[in-house]
Amino acid sequence: MTELTELGVAQIRDGVANGDFSAVEVATAFNANVAAAQEALNAFIIATPEKAIEAAQATDAKRARGEALGKMGGVPIGMKDLFATFDVQTTAASHMLEGFKPQYESTVSQKLWDAGAGMLGKLNLDQFAMGSSNETSYFGNVISPWKRNDGGNAALAPGGSSGGSSSALAARLCPAATGTDTGGSIRQPAAFTGTTGIKPTYGRCSRWGVVAFASSLDQAGPMARSVQDCAIMLEAMAGFDAKDSTSLDMPVPNWEAALSGDMKGKKVGIPKEYRVDGLDEDVAKSWDDGIAWLKDAGAEIVEISLPHTKYALPTYYIIAPAEASSNLARYDGVRYGLRDLPDGANLQDMYAATRAAGFGPEVKRRILIGTYVLSAGFYDAYYTQAQKVRALIAQDFAKAFEQCDVILAPTAPSAAFGLGENVDDPLKMYLNDVFAVPASLAGLPAMSVPAGLNREGLPLGLQVIGKAFDEQGVLNAGLAIEARAQFSAKPEKWW
Amino acid sequence: MSTYRIQGATGDWEVVIGLEVHAQVTSNSKLFSGSATAFGAEPNSQVSLIDAAMPGMLPVPNRECIRQAVRTGMAIEAQINKWSRFDRKNYFYADLPQGYQISQLYHPLVGEGSLTIEADEKAGIPADKVIGIERIHVEQDAGKLMHDQHPTMSYVDLNRSGVALMEIVSRPDMASPAEAGAYLSKLRTILRYVGSCDGNMDQGSMRADVNVSVRRPGEELGTRTETKNVNSVRFVMQAIEHEASRQVDVLEAGGKIVQETRLFDPGTGSTRSMRSKEDAHDYRYFPDPDLLPLELDDAFLEECRASLPELPDAKRARYEGELGLSAYNAAVLTADVDTFAWFEALLAETASAQGKQPAEVAKQAANWLISEFFGALNKLGKSLEDSPISHEQAAELLALVGKGTISGSIAKQVLETMFETGDNAGIIVEREGLKQESDTGAIEAKVDEILAANADKVAQYKDGKVALFGFFVGQTMKAMAGKGNPQVVNEILKAKLG
């Protein structure tokens, strides 16, 4: 029998249902991997092996009673530490929330537990999901299990902000994990680690109980090692939630059942503006591979134009920090989380001391940017303008989708970079999201699937962007790529 | 035009006043959470995860709060915006868990409207005056800090955090403290009619920010100050008087008015500076990304309109027209919800008890309510709400008077007994033998006795001292222990005295 930790969601679900192995066996195997890799990869902020076992036992008991198992029955998963989990520390990787145990469960995590999943632990991330390398976590950066093939031993970034999720998936610490994507935080880490992840249409997954970064952009989604696994998990996560006013009131389709890699009659748009000067050669090549694969799957390739692409990143870096500066105002030391109360401090002093100690430098940078762009005299020049550009970007996509069904582009402009390589230059770091951010601004479903390895032996991802609500189209194109890329590389175990 | 002027050392000054009234929306739960809103609950007993701004919590608008604000807008004949949006007003304070208040700056729910304040010569309001209302928007209330619970720390009570408020912003259309007082009273009346705010100013359900400036008659507007959170009609008037004279003093001494926020001290009736414009917060308003724009459909608006009650102006006109009440009585009876509710119940009962149309007994009921019943309640220090007798009981009493069973003066006595015992009027009249004597023979006998006993006065009367007629009436009534039918007594006396 193959090692249980090599199995994906569908295989575990079916294997448990068929009695090939028990859910407890699966949970035990993953728990062991989590524990063994913790020191080297730092993918989890806390492990919850007992939760994984508890859920597995419940699934096994259900099976013994002959009851139907859920969509995720017997599948242990990693939970990004941005999702509030009842009585289990929830930190957003910030000192501000160290030790915070919510007395509530996020809608998405609750749906996953209801579907039969169990929790292996809370996954590390960039602090408040702000970052592209996991270097902003208060609990130390996550290390990618991948190494360059140059014989060097440089520690690589797993991407971010869902870097704990991507690293854990690539290292077989879990078969699936939750991610959240505000400006690429599911797709870029998936691309960096040879894993698969989808950010659904804005509003598909409830934001209730997810620590907010930028409300109009934040969207949860699944990360796994196959398109099918993502489809299964997304079905479990998605759905209308009356507790989230921006939640989509639409039925959740049966995405898994409708999966098809046949692209006959489909048009795939190639945005010319994404072919930027100085695009990494390997990235360009993988994009060409993707085009060829989709053609092979029967699709017609059309060139499209998304003329406002170059404004997407600046627009994102106005809107996201603006919302963050306000969303993070609640961390003030008054009601929960960190309180730093120097001797003789008044209320203002307490705010200042608490927030100085509780937030990391990147979070502070974004709060400052956001406060600035919203301040009197600058609001119209920045925020109002950014909202107009955001509308134009959404319009670009709407026009493009008159000509095509899905859009194919690289996920990130490069493969994983070394830890520390970008930390001194925030702008260079922000550029990582240049291909991911437009779909976020437009609220569109977008996924990253592994396309192959670059010359350094590191994974590259291809991004499929779809029409609003057309996760199926995105998943199907992803499946067509997956079937042809035949990506089977995995990091050699060094931990 | 208001003739209110402040006489300064250098001449007359006009006052320009605008009010921003915060009215707590009557609803069972808060604007964006399901928490209860009852006044006076244990601190922090009505706080949801949302009100405490726990990580990942999201607001969901409460339909009833929106409905109440729309109905209020309709009651002031305002434009209702079918598309509006919530904005965040960002600032840090310990009573503001989110670090921002969800409000509506850019696109309020209710636009331009107005209300009319009535002429009141005594108060210096020579004619009815229309006061413009710029907008009504909906927003969250903050919590409350308690500074008296601990020697070195302040406590926070979040019960009020997230409760829905309407901010009702007037135009600077008022020109005297009396006009401002009348506006606030009228607004309170309308809110209570609509049922969108209980108007309990002492519980903080309604409070006003008072904008005041002064100018030479007819000149450009002066710089204004804003006095925050004034919580009674009287205090609003005091604050304006004080603030206007202070501004005149400053200007006449060659100084300038600083645009600033001021506080009212009810103890001294004066205002003092809280913070100047330079220290003002930059609230960094922006649309709340957790909430979709609020879009109202026609069915919702129709329901809001259909649910509106008869409003104060219409009711007053009807009382004067249909019911034939005096302007004064109509004004008194329509000034408050409790009053007109009592009156209308009494009127219906009275009409049915006497088998007449309401219009036929309206004057009787109105006069009795205002001059007898209110007075009796006042004596006991009670309000209509805790009246010892019901309107059915009152109607029975009025019917006894209307049918001539007892006289008006006996009715007073019966009412007192009703207050004391809670018994019905009929039972009291029966028990105490208070029925009016209308039997001509009996009254004639008494009159004869009185005339015989007062032969000298009869002689004087016949000599032309007709004023003595009242004396004979009084003596007769006294002899009959007040139970003589006054009309019959009069008639017989007239006949006998010739």
Asked if residue A426 belongs to a domain, the reply is: no
For A231-285, the DSSP string reads HHHHHHH----TT-TT---SPPP-TTTT-----TT-EEEEEGGGS-TT--HHHHH
**Region of poorest pLDDT, from A329-333, A485-489, B401-405:** B401-405
Statement: residue A423 has pLDDT above 80:
no
Indicate if the pLDDT at residue A284 is higher than 70: yes
Does position A1 have pLDDT exceeding 50, yes or no?
A: no
Q: Helix B455-462 crosses helix B440-453 at what angle (to 10 degrees)?
A: 90
Q: pLDDT band for position A120 (50/70/90)?
A: very high
Contact A210 B56 (CB under 8 A): yes
Q: Do B60 and A242 touch (CB under 8 A)?
A: yes
Report the residue of B50, B58, B282 to disrupt the A interface, i.e. the one with the largest count of A CBs within 10 Å.
B58
Burial of B390 (0-12, 13-18, 19+ CB in 10 A): middle
From the list A109, A133, A161, A440, the catalytic residue is A161
What distance in Å separates the CA atoms of residue A103 and residue B107, rounded to the nearest whole number? 36
Least confident of A255-269, B288-302, B379-393: B379-393
Classify burial at B378, counting beta carbons within 10 Å of its beta carbon; exposed 0-12, middle 13-18, buried 19 or more.
exposed
Per residue in A54-94, pLDDT (tens digit) is 999 999 999 999 999 999 999 999 999 999 999 999 999 99
Q: Which residues of chain A make contact with B292, given a CB cutoff of 8 A?
A: 245-246
Local confidence band at B280 (pLDDT 50, 70, 90 cut-offs):
confident
Assess if residue A231 is contained within a domain. Answer: yes
**Would you call A332 and B156 a contact, using CB atoms and an 8 Å cutoff?**
no
Tell whether B54 is within 8 A of chain A (Cβ): yes
- The fold adopted by the segment(s) B440-497 is Arc Repressor Mutant, subunit A (1.10.10)
Which sequence spans correspond to the domains of chain B? Answer: 6-303, 310-431, 440-497
Instruction: Report yes or no on A249 lying in a domain.
Output: yes
ipTM: 0.96
In a domain, A459, yes or no: yes
Residue A46 lies in a domain: yes
pLDDT digits (tens, 9 = 90+) for B48-95: 999 999 999 999 999 999 999 999 999 999 999 999 999 999 999 999
Do B90 and A329 lie within an 8 Å CB cutoff?
A: yes
Distances from the Cα of B436 to the Cαs of B442, B463, B474, B483, in angstroms? 12, 32, 15, 4
Mean pLDDT (whole number) for B172-187: 97
> What total of structural domains would you count in chain A?
1
User: Among residues 324-353 of chain A, which lie with CB inside 8 Å of chain B?
Assistant: 325-326, 328-330, 332, 334-336, 347-348, 351
d(CA A326, CA A308): 27
How close does chain B come to A381, measured CA to CA in Å? Answer: 13
User: Which positions ≥6 away from A202 have C-beta within 8 Å?
Assistant: A216, A217, A219, A246, A443, A444
Q: Which residue of B has its CA nearest to A347?
A: B94
Which residues of chain A lie closer than 8 angstroms to B97, CB-CB?
330, 334-335
CA pair distance A229, B231, nearest whole angstrom: 61
Residues 31-50 of B with CB under 8 A from A: 49
Identify whether A161 is a catalytic site residue. Answer: yes
Decide if pLDDT at B170 tops 90. Answer: yes
Decide: residue A361, CB within 10 A, 0-12 exposed, 13-18 middle, 19+ buried: exposed
Q: Is the pLDDT of residue B436 over 80?
A: no
Is A341 a domain residue? no
Q: Which residue range is the domain that position A477 belongs to?
A: 4-260+447-485
Q: What mean pLDDT comes out for the span A185-202? A: 98
Catalytic entry in A51, A62, A80, A199: A80
- Cβ of residue B282 closer than 8 Å to a chain A Cβ: yes
For chain B, the average pLDDT equals: 93
Report the residue from A348, A351, A374 with minimal CB separation from B284: A374
Query: Could you tell me which of B313, B340, B299, B298 has the C-alpha nearest to residue B75?
Result: B313
Q: Is the dihedral of CA B397, B400, B406, B408 positive or negative?
A: positive
Which of A106, A242, A326 lies closest to B90 in CB terms?
A326
* A326 contacts B56? CB cut-off 8 A: no
pLDDT digits (tens, 9 = 90+) for B355-406: 999 999 999 999 999 999 999 999 989 988 889 999 999 999 999 988 888 8
Residue A436 lies in a domain: no
pLDDT at A424: 80
Give the mean model confidence (pLDDT) for residues A151-171: 96
CATH number, domain containing residue A153? 3.90.1300.10
- Interhelix angle B469-479/B440-453, nearest 10 degrees: 120
Residues A277, A278, A283: CA angle, nearest 5 degrees: 110
- Please give the pLDDT value at position B1: 63
Q: Is B99 within 8 Å of A330 when comparing Cβ atoms?
A: yes
Average pLDDT value for chain A: 97
With an 8 Å Cβ cutoff, is B59 touching chain A?
yes
Distance (Å, rounded) from C-alpha A162 to C-alpha A184?
A: 9
Q: State whether residue A189 sits within 8 Å of chain B by CB.
A: no
User: Lowest-pLDDT range, A145-154, A351-360, A386-395?
Assistant: A145-154
Which chain B residues are within 8 Å of A102, Cβ to Cβ?
Answer: 54-56
Say if A208 is an interface residue toward chain B (CB within 8 Å).
Answer: yes
Catalytic residue list contains A215: no
Cβ of A245 within 8 Å of Cβ of B49? The answer is no
Output the pLDDT for position A2.
64
pLDDT tens digit string along A339-379? 999 998 999 999 999 999 999 999 999 999 999 999 999 99
Which residue matches tokens 């009228």?
B186
Contact assignment for B54 to A379 by CB distance below 8 Å: no
Residue A431 lies in a domain: no
